[in-house]
Chains A and B, each alone.
Chain A
Amino acid sequence: MFDLITDLARYNDLMISGSLETLYMVAMSLFFAIVGGIPLGVLTTITRENHIIPNKPLNFVLDGIINIGRSIPFIILMVAVIPFTRMIVGTSIGTNAAVVPLSLAAIPFMGRVTDNAILEIEHGVIESAQSMGASPLQIVFKVLLPESLPAIILGLTLTAISLVSYSAMAGAVGGGGLGDIAIRYGYQRFQLAIMLETIVILVVMVQLIQFFGNKIASFFDHR
């Protein structure tokens, strides 16, 4: 017991920097998920049959991108995109390098979440906007996004939590963060205390993300 506590005290700085690295990876890739995934999801929905700008070929392609992106296991995606990561970041090691595959996984995930959120909107509401003479662009920004905002925020929460777990995987191949620490110290050096502490930190992180996600979503939810 005493050993455990001295171990933890000794590695305090390591744990703090590991946590910050994890948060950095999650925040960066969440940013790209918002920038890339939400437009991808919106475009997928509105090009569906019977939606505001039906376009079968485009919908087929976008839907395919989302499905393919979502069907590749993250650990494989991470390795497969190494050349692409090198091209963008200049290296395939470190937190910045890990952001590339994390974003590539998060974008289609967020795309599907957005697609589902927008599909929840009753068709009548969209029709009423059309009956007022709203253009497709106005419908997207004044109807679809505001109406699905609570669901999109919950989807972002879900994405963020997936990213926490993916970032731990990225750590295993040199991405840094809590996953890296858990593997190197907890697993390879048999330091049980470190392993346990990373788990506790990850659990707390996920709880907090979910808690604030729910709070923000219900703030915007007037249904």
Chain B
Amino acid sequence: MIKIENLTKHYHAAQGKVEAINGLNLEVDDGEIFGMIGPSGAGKSTLIRMLNLLEQPTSGTININGTDLTELSSQNLRAARQKIGMIFQHFNLLSSRTVLGNVAFPLEIAGVAKKERIAKAKELIELVGLSDRADHYPAQLSGGQKQRVGIARALANDPDLLLSDEATSSLDPESTKSVLELLAKIRDEMNLTIILITHEMGVIKDICDRVAVLEAGQIIEEGSILDIFARPKQTLTKKFISSVIDFDLPERIIKYVKAERPGELIRISFVGEKTHDPYISDLVKHYSVDANILYGNIDEIQGVPFGTLVLDLEGQLTNIEESINYLQSQDLRVEVLDNV
């Protein structure tokens, strides 16, 4: 388990003191894919680079499986780092080595015998699907292939934790998808923990179990993916979600909201099994209201259905209120749309 307590990083820049990370606390469970998202300048990169002490924290502790990294001697830190793999936005492969040489590199550092490291490297190259490219140099590979080499290299010393620093940010959508699928696959097969940072909500939506939203060096919201998508609290979170799921109502409905009308306009968000339950017919049957569906949208997050519905409720005011209460009691997120 990874436990981060009161983590702070301040540094001095030309513009004065910069507080990159401010008293951050975080726990990540074993085997979890934990995503951190935030706008540029939120401190994501500083944060993930502190997790293997590439960046020295100003204060706070970073506890990985019971060892506080900040207290290790430089020699012990190097040993600990062998169990923390890292992949980078710009891959950072050695241009002077072939794919095989790059994947074997961390094993060489760890002092593994040549025969063993070549066998292990070949195994990993096969895992990432690059067996036919083992003798190629990085310059001869596409971005997606380079990142696969990066992943194979990061796995060489059988790490417990894999850090991903914007690993898909310089890839095209197709390579991004296949790299993310690969990450999910190795998590399942090798049971390692993955912490990734990104500025793309699509990455979070596709593979993360939990997410933390970072703003100005602090976590402003944290939770399971479904919770965050279903009930985002912060404006920034909503903004990120709307970049992958269409939250904005069509123009036609906005006009309708603004117009004079008898009833109440509500938006319901629902997740998972709730999509199967017959709420609307319940409403109509039990609360004597008419429900007119104006807009609907169902998406899927990691195989779980996730949807929004805009209803125009007409009937007596008390009935409408009661029906809204009923929906809320069903653990649905209900918003009354007065203005959009």
Contact = CB atoms under 8 A, between A and B. Distances in A.
A binds B: yes
B79 A133 contact: yes
A132 B106 contact: yes
B224 interface: no
Which DSSP category, helix, strand, loop or mixed, fits chain A's interface? helix
Interface in A182-223: 220, 222-223
Interface of B: 52, 54, 77-82, 84, 86, 88, 90, 92-97, 105-106, 108-110, 137-139, 153, 157, 163
A128 B78 contact: no
Interface string A111-131: 000000000001011011111
A149 B54 CA distance: 26
A124 to B, nearest CB: 4
Contact of B109 (A132, A146, A147, A149): A132
Nearest to B74: A135
Candidate in B92, B139, B157 with the most chain A CB atoms within 10 angstroms? B92
Nearest to B138: A222
Nearest to A132: B106
Given A132-B153, A135-B78, 20 more contacts: A122-B92, A124-B88, A125-B92, A125-B93, A127-B54, A129-B105, A131-B52, A131-B84, A132-B81, A132-B106, A133-B77, A133-B79, A133-B81, A133-B110, A142-B109, A146-B94, A147-B94, A222-B95, A222-B139, A223-B95
A134 interface: yes
A67 interface: no
Contacts of B90: 122, 124
Given A132-B106, A142-B105, A124 B81 contact: no
A132 B88 contact: no
Given A133-B79, A133-B109, A128 B96 contact: no
A143 interface: yes
Which DSSP category, helix, strand, loop or mixed, fits chain B's interface? mixed
Candidate in A124, A125, A131, A220 with the most chain B CB atoms within 10 angstroms? A131
A131 B54 contact: yes
Given A147-B95, A222-B95, A128 B109 contact: no
Interface in A152-192: none
Contacts of A223: 95, 139
Contacts of B139: 222-223
B307 to A, nearest CB: 41
Query: Which of under 10, 10 to 19, 20 to 34, or 35 or more describes the interface residues of A?
Result: 20 to 34
A138 interface: yes
A119 to B, nearest CB: 15
B95 A128 contact: no
A222 B110 contact: no
A179 to B, nearest CB: 38
A90 to B, nearest CB: 43
Given A127-B54, A222-B139, A223-B139, A132 B105 contact: yes
A63 B39 CA distance: 40
Contacts of A134: 78, 109
B86 A222 contact: no
8 contacts: A129-B105, A131-B84, A132-B81, A132-B82, A132-B86, A132-B105, A132-B157, A146-B94
A133 B77 CA distance: 7
Nearest to B77: A133
A128 B110 contact: no
A147 B86 contact: no
Given A147-B96, A222-B96, A128 B88 contact: yes
Contacts of A129: 105, 109
A223 B78 CA distance: 29
B159 to A, nearest CB: 10
A147 B86 CA distance: 20
B96 A149 contact: yes
B92 A133 contact: no
Contacts of B163: 131
A131 B94 contact: no
Nearest to A143: B94
